[in-house]
């Protein structure tokens, strides 16, 4: 299968210091290219994301300063593992440990022109702290473990060494240098997201025009046309585009496990058709837990109610907010496809080639309401116990909705007890897989080895 034309780079205006959706900025400047990591999705850091980052930065480096525009490029890892982008450069890595429930931020060398003048802690002067026998060679110290004496707790550090600066990692009296180079401290313009919208207005207009044209091309392929609205950001954008194209029928499927925020948001959007799946918990006894690799729940609580409804409605075109960049598996998503589960339903995805950045900028440009869950730190919106959630998101459920979290934990405890499963089934979020992937199995081995 041919790979879809996914964008693998992000353009950034060096003059305005904003991300660009295309090569050029409204100021006339050409954007600088920054390579992204698979699946190449990039999204704005919202309030809870920023709070997490500023808390760790303050704890570790004594500064909570962050540019107003920060982006996350999600990548693979044990749990949440995002490349943090700011000032048009790699700023660092934000990751979550699923067993220790701990966030870590590791800065990149490119963050230092911003970070170094602000850091009040976590900076080690290698020359002063070094306690090895031989003198440190000037060259090729990257990657070496050097013995040091310091009061800084173990973890990521900023390193100063003979007029250079860099990043490293402290562990049990040793410093491992990650990168070292010449760092020129710099003051950057600090625009907000409204400015990013403004500088991308031309690209947003284009995206909207293409998407509406695409909907109009296909909306008469079947006798009826509707929008499948999930309450998430992607379907918020798709709904707006469909409304502008003249579509008037919208439906929402309530799985029975929706967040209260989603239900209120859907109500505000005045979606006339509300289909109910419900009863997911009821089926666990027979089907087992829904897992990332066995999502029987989708068929039961999402597809089935639509099938019943369509049985009465007849053939239709359904506009969805699916995107290539959501996951590796969606990267091959065709723009138009017959739903294999509901013959007669033609699914079309007008924003399939948008990244989360395009979606948020579009929502802000058009001043649309958004599901508050995004500001609360959720990357995706679905059922509140969805196995596709990261453990970091499940932690957010615990703090934002303790009663829902407790309800799910009691289901998990019951399953763990009946199947004689180890504590990590719940404590490390292993319940989310029928067959845990190698990286999770490796984590468990390490955990057991440490426990001795
Ligand atoms: S959102 Fe998650 S839990 Fe809900 S039906 Fe889909 S896969 Fe299942
Ligand atoms: Zn510009």
> What pLDDT, in 10s, does the model give residues 159-175?
999 999 999 999 999 99
Model confidence band, residue 136 (pLDDT cutoffs 50, 70, 90): confident
| CB of 386 closer than 6 angstroms to any ligand 1 atom | yes
CA 302 to ligand 1: nearest atom = 5
Given a contact cutoff of 8 angstroms between Cβ atoms, the answer to whether 94 and 52 are in contact is yes
Verify that 277 and 362 share a domain, yes or no: yes
Model confidence band, residue 448 (pLDDT cutoffs 50, 70, 90): confident
Residue 429: which domain range?
390-452
pLDDT of residue 139: 67
Q: Is the confidence at residue 1, as pLDDT, over 60?
A: no
Q: Give nearest CA residue, ligand 1 atom 2.
A: 386
DSSP, collapsed to helix, strand or coil, labels residue 294 as strand
User: What's the rounded mean pLDDT across residues 86-91?
Assistant: 98
- What DSSP character marks residue 302? I
| CB of 46 closer than 6 angstroms to any ligand 1 atom | no
| CB of 411 closer than 6 angstroms to any ligand 1 atom | no
User: What's the rounded mean pLDDT across residues 55-78?
Assistant: 97
Verify that 444 and 356 share a domain, yes or no: no
Which CA distances in Å does 118 have to 115, 186, 270? Answer: 5, 11, 47
Q: Is the confidence at residue 104, as pLDDT, over 80?
A: yes
pLDDT of residue 444: 85
pLDDT of residue 446: 85
Q: How far is the CA of 10 from the centre of ligand 2 (A)?
A: 14
User: pLDDT tens-digit profile of 173-209?
Assistant: 999 999 999 999 999 999 999 999 999 999 999 999 9
Q: How far is the CA of 193 from the centre of ligand 1 (A)?
A: 32
Which CA distances in Å does 20 have to 50, 212, 289, 357? Answer: 21, 21, 42, 9
- Long-range CB contacts (within 8 A, 24+) of 399-405: 400/376, 401/259, 401/260, 404/259
Q: Does 312 fall in a domain?
A: yes
> On the CB side of 307, how many CA atoms lie within 13 Å of its CA?
13
Q: Does 192 fall in a domain?
A: no
Q: Does 194 fall in a domain?
A: no
Given a contact cutoff of 8 angstroms between Cβ atoms, the answer to whether 92 and 109 are in contact is no
Place of tokens 């924003």: 351
Verify that 113 and 142 share a domain, yes or no: no
Q: What is the CATH number of the domain that holds 291?
A: 3.40.50.620
- What DSSP character marks residue 383? B
Q: How many domains does the chain have?
A: 4
Q: Is the confidence at residue 137, as pLDDT, over 80?
A: no
> On the CB side of 417, how many CA atoms lie within 13 Å of its CA?
6
CA 382 to ligand 1: nearest atom = 1
Neighbour tally for 381: CB within 10 Å:
24
Q: Which of 128, 156, 184 is the last residue of a domain?
A: 184
| CB of 291 closer than 6 angstroms to any ligand 1 atom | no
Question: What is the rounded CA–CA span in Å between residue 141 and residue 138?
Answer: 7
Given a contact cutoff of 8 angstroms between Cβ atoms, the answer to whether 318 and 339 are in contact is yes
User: pLDDT tens-digit profile of 8-40?
Assistant: 999 999 999 999 999 999 999 999 999 999 999
pLDDT of residue 450: 79
CA 385 to ligand 1: nearest atom = 3
CA 389 to ligand 1: nearest atom = 2
CA 300 to ligand 1: nearest atom = 5
User: pLDDT tens-digit profile of 365-392?
Assistant: 999 999 999 999 999 999 999 999 999 9
DSSP, collapsed to helix, strand or coil, labels residue 436 as coil
pLDDT of residue 250: 97
Question: What is the rounded CA–CA span in Å between residue 231 and residue 92?
Answer: 31
Secondary structure (DSSP) of 178-204: EEEE-----------HHHHHHHTHHHH
Q: Which of 67, 87, 117 is the last residue of a domain?
A: 117
Q: Does 177 fall in a domain?
A: yes
Verify that 93 and 127 share a domain, yes or no: no
Question: What is the rounded CA–CA span in Å between residue 147 and residue 45?
Answer: 37
| CB of 388 closer than 6 angstroms to any ligand 1 atom | yes
User: pLDDT tens-digit profile of 241-289?
Assistant: 999 999 999 999 999 999 999 999 999 999 999 999 877 888 898 899 9
Verify that 230 and 103 share a domain, yes or no: no
Verify that 371 and 446 share a domain, yes or no: no
Which of 91-95, 140-144, 300-304 shows the lowest per-residue confidence on average (mean pLDDT)?
A: 140-144
Given a contact cutoff of 8 angstroms between Cβ atoms, the answer to whether 46 and 374 are in contact is yes
Verify that 368 and 401 share a domain, yes or no: no
Q: Which of 89, 117, 145 is the last residue of a domain?
A: 117
pLDDT of residue 141: 81
| Between 449 and 158, the higher pLDDT residue | 158
Q: Does 426 fall in a domain?
A: yes
* pTM > 0.85: yes or no: yes
User: What's the rounded mean pLDDT across residues 134-142?
Assistant: 76
Verify that 109 and 141 share a domain, yes or no: no
pLDDT of residue 120: 98
Verify that 108 and 250 share a domain, yes or no: no
Verify that 402 and 379 share a domain, yes or no: no
pLDDT of residue 447: 82
Which secondary-structure segment (H or E) carries 55? helix 47-61
User: What's the rounded mean pLDDT across residues 226-241?
Assistant: 98
User: What's the rounded mean pLDDT across residues 121-125?
Assistant: 98
| CB of 145 closer than 6 angstroms to any ligand 1 atom | no
Average pLDDT, the chain: 94
Q: Give nearest CA residue, ligand 1 atom 3.
A: 386
pLDDT of residue 19: 98
Q: Is the confidence at residue 2, as pLDDT, over 70?
A: no
Q: Give nearest CA residue, ligand 1 atom 6.
A: 298
User: pLDDT tens-digit profile of 310-343?
Assistant: 988 899 999 999 999 887 666 677 889 999 888 8
C-alpha 43: how far from its chain's center? Answer: 7
Q: Does 338 fall in a domain?
A: yes
**Angle separating helix axes 402-419 and 391-400, nearest 10 degrees:** 130
Q: How far is the CA of 80 from the centre of ligand 2 (A)?
A: 31
Q: Which ligand is nearest to the CA of 408?
A: 1
Q: How far is the CA of 114 from the centre of ligand 1 (A)?
A: 41
Q: Which two tokens stand for residue 70?
A: 């920060």
Question: What is the rounded CA–CA span in Å between residue 142 and residue 14?
Answer: 29
């Amino acid at each position: 299968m041919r790979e879809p034309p996914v964008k693998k780079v992000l353009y950034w205006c060096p003059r305005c210091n904003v991300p660009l959706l295309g090569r050029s900025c409204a100021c006339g400047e050409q954007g600088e290219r920054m390579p992204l990591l698979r699946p190449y999705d990039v999204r704005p850091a919202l309030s809870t994301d920023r709070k997490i980052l500023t808390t760790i930065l303050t704890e570790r480096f004594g500064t909570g300063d962050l540019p107003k525009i920060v982006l996350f490029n999600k990548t693979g890892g044990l749990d949440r593992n995002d490349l943090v982008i700011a000032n048009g450069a790699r700023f660092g890595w934000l990751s979550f440990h699923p067993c220790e429930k701990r966030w870590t931020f590791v800065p990149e060398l490119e963050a230092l022109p911003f970070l170094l003048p602000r850091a009040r802690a976590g900076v080690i002067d290698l020359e002063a702290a070094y306690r090895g026998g031989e003198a440190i060679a000037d060259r090729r110290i990257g990657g070496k473990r050097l013995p040091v004496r310091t009061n800084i707790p173990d973890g990521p550090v900023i390193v100063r060494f003979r007029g250079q600066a860099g990043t490293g990692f402290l562990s049990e009296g040793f410093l491992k240098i990650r990168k070292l180079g010449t760092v020129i401290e710099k003051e950057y313009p600090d625009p907000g997201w409204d400015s990013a919208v403004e500088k991308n207005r031309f690209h947003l207009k284009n995206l909207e025009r293409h998407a509406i044209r695409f909907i109009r091309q296909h909306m008469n392929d079947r006798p009826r046309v509707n929008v499948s609205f999930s309450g998430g950001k992607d379907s918020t954008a798709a709904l707006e585009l469909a409304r502008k194209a003249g579509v008037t029928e919208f439906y929402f499927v309530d799985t029975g496990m929706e967040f209260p925020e989603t239900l209120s948001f859907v109500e505000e959007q005045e979606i006339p058709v509300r289909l109910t799946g419900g009863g997911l918990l009821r089926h666990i006894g027979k089907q087992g837990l829904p897992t990332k690799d066995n999502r029987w729940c989708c068929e039961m609580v999402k597809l089935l109610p639509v099938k019943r409804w369509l049985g009465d409605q007849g053939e239709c075109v359904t506009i969805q907010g699916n995107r290539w960049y959501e996951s590796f598996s969606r990267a091959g998503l065709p723009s138009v496809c017959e739903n294999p589960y509901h013959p007669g339903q033609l699914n079309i995805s007008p924003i399939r080639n948008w990244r989360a950045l395009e979606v948020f900028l579009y929502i802000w440009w058009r001043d649309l309401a958004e599901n508050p869950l995004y500001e609360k730190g959720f990357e995706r919106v679905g059922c509140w116990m969805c196995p596709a959630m990261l453990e970091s998101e499940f932690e957010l459920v615990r703090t934002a909705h303790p009663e829902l979290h407790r309800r799910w934990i009691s289901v998990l405890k019951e399953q763990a007890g009946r199947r004689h499963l180890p504590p990590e089934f719940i404590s490390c979020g292993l319940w989310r897989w029928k067959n845990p992937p190698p990286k999770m199995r490796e984590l468990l081995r390490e955990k057991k080895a440490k426990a001795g």
